[in-house]
Amino acid sequence: MAVEELKQKIEEKHLLVNSIKSEIGKVLVGQRDLIDGLLMGLFTKGHILIEGVPGLAKTSAVKALADTVQVDFKRIQFTPDLLPADLIGTEIYRPKTGDFSIKKGPIFHNIILADEINRAPSKVQSALLEAMQEQQVTIGETTFELSDPFLVMATQNPIEQEGTYPLPEAQVDRFMLKLIIDYPNKSEEKEIMKRVGFENVPVIKQIIDPAELDDIGSLITSIYMDEKLREYIVDLVFATRNPQDYHMDISDYIHFGASPRATIFLSLVARAYAFLQGRAYVTPQDVKTIAPDVLRHRIILTYEAEAEDITTEQIIGHIFDSVEVP
């Protein structure tokens, strides 16, 4: 696709993006980074993990986004007594006919909100893992393809809170982005106070359909990325595995570095971020802006790092400072 044609198409699709943001803004105050992260997940069909303390509108944000898309949406509340069958469905025996029939579970929707995902036991996490990675589920001896698009947007509370379990590393790696959200500022909280309970609940319009989502996805993959930027992305990921090769003395703090999925997702999300900025090309700053969301849940720290209160954010910052920017 020619550069001028690509620019024109990006401008056209930005009208849709602005409309989606406007609709979400009816129910959500602030949280621009969260909205951008959710949109990048939607446009690239990547699963998103959102972490924050209760009451920060994580659930409201995902539901508002889903309401703007002409697809099936389902919210699933994860609890300690949830069973895999509650998620994917089960076989039901019919005495009259002597055979089994399949009752499909809530996973058979386009956008799934897995609310408080880290409150469910490991068997449920394993059932969700197949759906996220293979876009299929198995009930009994039958395998079912999930619909397209299929997107898991999960919320979780910080693992220090009571009743939470850390997610398995293999599952966390399936999430394209991990978004960390914090408390609103004073003006935002004042606006929240004015709205909630004192205004009518707004109705969110459906703005975009699956065909338009596919068009935007194709546009994003067409966005130009220089070869030096590709090398920069690979260097960032390799620095999490072999920091000594980049003159960093942090090997004792990293148990496992980022997987190859980090390289794939960072390349894709950098393009999606450039699209949200209305550009047909990726800059080094795009990569630096989005990289923490791609890397933070893929770097597993050692006990020594935890003992010294060293966080993944500090490790990522050190890597940014040490890896040369093109």
Determine the pLDDT at residue 227.
92
Q: Topology of 223-322 in CATH?
A: Helicase, Ruva Protein; domain 3 (1.10.8)
Q: Average of pLDDT values for 173-178?
A: 88
CATH superfamily, domain at 3-211: P-loop containing nucleotide triphosphate hydrolases (3.40.50.300)
Q: Is the pLDDT of residue 266 over 80?
A: yes
CB neighbours of 220 closer than 8 A, spacing ≥ 6?
A: 43, 44, 268, 271, 272, 275
Give this prediction's pTM: 0.85
Share of the chain above pLDDT 90, in %: 12
* Cβ pair 141, 99 in contact under 8 A: no
Determine the pLDDT at residue 64.
84
Q: Which residues are 76's β-sheet partners?
A: 114
Q: Is the pLDDT of residue 160 over 60?
A: no
Confidence of residue 199 (pLDDT cuts 50, 70, 90): low
For CATH 3.40.50.300, list the domain ranges present in the chain. Answer: 3-211
Q: Average of pLDDT values for 292-312?
A: 87
Cis peptide before 166 (omega within 30 of 0): no
Confidence of residue 323 (pLDDT cuts 50, 70, 90): confident
> What would the pLDDT profile of 19-47 be if each residue is shown by its tens digit?
888 888 877 777 788 888 888 988 898 89
**Closest-CA residue to 6 (of 192, 218, 175, 297):** 218
For CATH 1.10.8.80, list the domain ranges present in the chain. Answer: 223-322
What is the C-alpha separation between 42 and 36, in angstroms, rounded? Answer: 10
